[in-house]
Amino acid sequence: MEHVALFLADGFEEIEALTPVDVLRRADIKVSTISISNSLEVTGSHQIVVKADKAFDDVNFDDFTCAVLPGGIPGAINLKEHKPLNEVLQKFAEEGKFIGAICAAPIVPGSLGLAKNKKVTCYPGFEDQLTEAEYTGNPTEVDGQLITGKAAGASMAFALQLVEILSGTEKAKEVADKMFVQ
């Protein structure tokens, strides 16, 4: 069964975190929100406090099939500077697991060399931090195991892209239809 780790850092973009959690759960995909902060309560960039399911140090990541990184400033920077998370993402990449990142968060896999020679998208102005990647500017982009989204406005498309990759086109269409997504 698919199991997604969605990482929360203080300053995360709420729409980019909670839309994928909601949509993935509607698709019957197990999602755990994981705080990299010192508390389960993580404050988003618009001062919305979210209680994560788990603390980073309490999680064994072996059973996860996908990592998702929401953007937001300083959330994406906090993710990028969290060394243990970087180690988990490197291991995910080595094991062929999926990594999703939206808005400013593609700087995290970008800084680790995980976007090298891949088509990616991100919030305009951060593309220079995507080491040796091909920036497209599209709402979403999938290249191998890396799934990227442009910004908060692409959160639904990004979430449905994750569902499609993890559970197939039919499941993504079913979830989108039930939500009346065009």
Per-position DSSP letters for 2-70, written without gaps between them: -EEEEEE-TT--HHHHHHHHHHHHHTT-EEEEEE-SSSSEEE-TTS-EEE-SEEGGG--GGG--EEEE-
- What is the phi/psi pair of residue 67, to 5°? -115, 135
Residue 55: its pLDDT value, please? 98
* Third-level CATH fold of 3-173: Rossmann fold (3.40.50)
Residue 131: its pLDDT value, please? 82
Where exactly are the structural domains of the chain?
A: 3-173
Residue 107: its pLDDT value, please? 97
Residue 182: its pLDDT value, please? 82
Q: Which residues pair with 34 in a beta bridge?
A: 7, 54
Residues of the chain with pLDDT under 50: none
Residue 93: its pLDDT value, please? 97
